[in-house]
């Protein structure tokens, strides 16, 4: 559906008034529902709600005039009526199609989301973003988007499909675009002219500028906020969240696949006198959690478990993000608001018994009743990998002697690396991996151009004793990245990812052990989320069987080349010291 319903015309407004007065029948009446009020953060006694023309006309004691011959009546029998939940910061532009996500999330009471588009922009440029927007327009749940401010974030060090400033600014005029997506703070406070152009364009249109202020505090955070940035989902401590709120930034508390920070942050926020600048976000929910439980309903459940007043928890997941983004008519159960609603069994688990979208029942007991239209990507989406195949000769790292001292990126955790030194065996004049000492070779290929532009390096902290992995799902370039215990296995995995048109591959010897094809722009699978999750688990199991010690290798592989986080990263142009902002040599 479109991101927001059309503004009611005079006839629609007159009808809402007449229904509210009991002078005209409602389209739908929900009886016996306990309203969760996000304005006064209270739960009200059971009452009735009248819906007309996709909006809420009135609530409270039922009026005789609400029922007509065509009025639908739903008996809530004490269930709790909450506004549809809204994820104010997520990434729905890769891994799965929007329709696959919508079918799972909407059925659990998640009626809207605000998605980044940096991954699909890096994978397929403006064409990719437009494809996602086209699917969003026919997806049942409301999907808004923010456009990346820089594609790629650091073109001097990395290559992606790319978008010009003019293309980015053009997207800001789309009604479904709520602003610019997260922009890494170092470039902003260093006064890079590129974000200044897109920031000014967003502010001129009254749109939001998303933040990514990991590690920024004090004067640097002040300068970042002064640039026009108005939110941040990177608070890892209560102190960081409170500092952002003090500066007027929306503190988007994250709980998802990348990090889980609610336990560290929420206790300090739950009793704030005014929590309008607090919202909960997934930053992309884990696939297994999405399949089994849902999305924002899981976060509301956890907030209550952490001691948050249930009505306040609901506001953090609905009204606050709606107000922040200017989504007038969403996020509350009140007269005149759009009737995106969920009836939940209780305010501890938030299990949805019924879900309404613009007053229409679309899901019951966690299962969709309305059919999600299928969206087919254009044929050219399957031909975005342009680089040639890799040979063993391509993977040579020239070195002399019997051993070479090399820089290696050590996987500290799922997202952070640090520089370490290691000794690599030298064979035939090339530094090679040494899995016995946890030293793997890694490669990063620019897939967006013919030929072969590739950076090479070494990695530790993975534990692989044999085999290799390769993936095109890497932040934010969607190039081809791989690491392996031998050059031959690394080449096999890299070339298989290329043959698939994108995906995730695990290889050993001459055999492909597991794979997840991502043929749509090299970043998206057309399969249902449950099948994608099954393949991810197969890939991770294969890696663990090969000795991988990373807790979440699917995530770690995505972030291992990510230049938005410290410290040592491999790009298609070579090895980058992120803090020093310079390319460095592999062999010391």
Residue 464, helix vs strand vs coil: coil
Q: Are 82 and 318 in contact (CB under 8 A)?
A: yes
The three-class DSSP label of residue 543 is helix
Stated length of the chain: 588
pLDDT of residue 524: 98
Angle between helices 118-138 and 98-105 (to 10 degrees): 60
Return the percentage of the chain with pLDDT > 70, whole number: 99
Say yes or no to pLDDT of 143 above 70: yes
DSSP assigned state of 227: T
Q: ω into residue 333 within 30 of 0, thus cis?
A: no
Average pLDDT over residues 439-445: 99
Between CA 525 and CA 527 the distance in angstroms is 5
Return all residues near 17 (Cβ < 8 A) that are at least 6 apart. Answer: none
Q: What is the rounded distance in angstroms from the CA atom of residue 277 to the CA atom of residue 246?
A: 9
Q: Per DSSP, which regions of 223-351 are E strands?
A: 231-232, 250-254, 278-281, 341-344
Residue with the two structure tokens 């249902």: 528
As a whole number of angstroms, the distance between CA 223 and CA 185 comes to 9
Of the candidates 123, 111, 109, which has an alpha carbon nearest to the alpha carbon of residue 79? 109
Average pLDDT over residues 274-278: 98
Give the model confidence (pLDDT) of 176-207 as tens digits.
Answer: 999 999 998 988 999 999 899 999 999 999 99
Tens of pLDDT, residue by residue over 353-404, are 999 999 999 999 999 999 999 999 999 999 999 999 999 999 999 999 999 9
Within 10 angstroms of residue 315's Cβ, the number of other Cβ atoms is 29
pLDDT, residue 117, reads 98
DSSP state of 23: S
DSSP one-letter code for 109: T
Task: Give Cα separations from 572 to 446, 455, 495 (angstroms).
Answer: 6, 4, 16
Q: Which two tokens stand for residue 4?
A: 């927001």
Q: What does DSSP say about strands 28-37 and 80-83: parallel, antiparallel, or unpaired?
A: parallel
Q: What pLDDT score was predicted for residue 153?
A: 82
**Residue 3: predicted pLDDT:** 66
pLDDT at residue 205, rounded to an integer: 98
Q: Where in the chain is the domain with CATH 3.20.20.140?
A: 84-329
Decide if pLDDT at 528 tops 70.
yes
CATH classification (class only), 84-329:
alpha beta
**What is the structure's pLDDT at 1?**
65
Strand partners, 504: 471, 516
User: Using one digit for the tens of pLDDT, what is the confidence trace for 206-248?
Assistant: 999 999 998 899 999 999 999 999 999 999 999 999 999 999 9
Query: What is the rounded CA–CA span in Å between residue 322 and residue 508?
Result: 49
Helix, strand counts (H, E) of the chain: 16, 32
Q: In this model, does residue 545 exceed pLDDT 90?
A: yes
- Residue 547 zone, left/alpha/beta (φ > 0; ψ -120 to 50; rest): left
- In 218-340, at which residue ranges do the beta strands (DSSP E only) sit? 231-232, 250-254, 278-281
pLDDT at 579: 86
pLDDT at 215: 87
**pLDDT range class, residue 75, cuts 50, 70, 90:** very high
Q: Outline where 390-443 has alpha helix (H).
A: none
Q: Name the percent of the chain lying above pLDDT 90.
A: 92
Helices 98-105 and 529-545, axial angle in degrees (round to 10): 100
Give the residue, 322 or 258, on which the prediction is more confident. Answer: 322
* pLDDT at res. 2: 58
């Amino acid at each position: 559906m479109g991101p927001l319903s059309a503004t009611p015309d005079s006839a629609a407004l007159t009808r809402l008034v007449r229904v509210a007065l009991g002078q005209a029948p409602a389209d739908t009446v929900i009886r016996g529902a306990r309203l969760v009020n996000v304005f006064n953060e209270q739960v009200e006694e059971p009452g009735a709600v009248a819906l007309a023309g996709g909006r809420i006309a009135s609530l409270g004691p039922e009026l005789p005039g609400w029922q007509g011959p065509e009025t639908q009546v739903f008996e809530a029998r004490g269930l709790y009526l909450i506004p549809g939940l809204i994820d104010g910061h997520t990434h729905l532009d890769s891994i799965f199609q929007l329709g696959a996500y919508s079918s799972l999330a909407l059925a659990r009471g998640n009626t809207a989301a605000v998605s980044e588009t940096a991954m699909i922009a890096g994978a397929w440029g403006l064409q990719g973003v437009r494809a996602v927007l086209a699917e969003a327009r026919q997806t049942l749940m409301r999907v808004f988007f923010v456009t990346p401010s820089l594609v790629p974030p650091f073109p001097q060090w990395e290559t992606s499909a790319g978008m010009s400033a003019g293309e980015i600014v053009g997207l800001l005029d789309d009604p479904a675009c709520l602003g610019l997506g997260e922009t890494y703070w170092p470039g902003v406070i260093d006064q890079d002219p590129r974000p200044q152009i897109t920031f000014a364009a967003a502010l001129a249109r009254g749109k939001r500028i998303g933040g990514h202020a990991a590690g920024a505090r004090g004067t640097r955070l002040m300068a970042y906020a002064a640039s026009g940035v108005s939110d941040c989902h990177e608070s890892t401590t209560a102190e960081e969240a409170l500092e952002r709120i003090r500066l007027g930034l929306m503190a988007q508390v994250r709980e998802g696949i990348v990090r889980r920070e609610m336990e560290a942050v929420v206790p300090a926020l739950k009793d704030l006198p005014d929590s309008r600048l607090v919202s909960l976000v997934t930053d992309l929910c884990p696939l297994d959690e999405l399949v089994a439980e849902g999305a924002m309903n899981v976060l509301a459940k956890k907030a209550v478990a952490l001691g948050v007043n249930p009505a306040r928890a609901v506001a953090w997941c609905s009204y606050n993000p709606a107000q922040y983004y200017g989504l007038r008519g969403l996020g509350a159960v009140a007269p005149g608001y759009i009737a995106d609603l969920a009836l939940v069994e209780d305010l501890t688990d938030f299990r949805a018994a019924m879900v309404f979208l613009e007053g229409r029942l679309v899901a019951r007991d966690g299962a969709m009743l309305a059919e999600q239209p299928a969206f087919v990507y254009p044929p050219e989406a399957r031909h975005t990998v342009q680089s040639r195949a890799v040979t063993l000769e391509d993977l040579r790292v020239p070195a002399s002697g019997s051993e070479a001292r090399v820089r290696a990126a050590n996987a500290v955790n799922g997202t952070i690396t640090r520089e370490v030194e290691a000794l690599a065996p030298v064979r035939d004049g090339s530094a090679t991996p040494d899995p016995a000492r946890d030293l793997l070779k890694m490669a990063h290929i620019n897939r967006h151009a013919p030929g072969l532009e590739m950076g090479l390096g070494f990695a530790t902290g993975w534990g692989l004793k044999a085999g290799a992995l390769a993936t095109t799902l890497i932040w934010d370039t969607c190039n081809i990245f791989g690491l392996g215990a031998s050059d031959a296995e690394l080449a096999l995995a890299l070339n298989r990812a290329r043959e698939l048109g994108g995906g995730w591959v695990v290889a050993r010897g001459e055999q492909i052990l597991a794979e997840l094809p991502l043929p749509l722009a090299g970043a998206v699978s057309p399969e249902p989320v449950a099948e994608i999750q099954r393949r991810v688990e197969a890939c991770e199991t294969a890696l663990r069987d090969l000795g991988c010690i990373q807790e979440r290798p699917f995530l770690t592989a995505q972030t291992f080349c990510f230049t938005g986080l410290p410290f040592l990263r491999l790009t298609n142009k070579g090895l980058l010291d992120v803090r020093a902002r310079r390319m460095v040599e592999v062999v010391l």
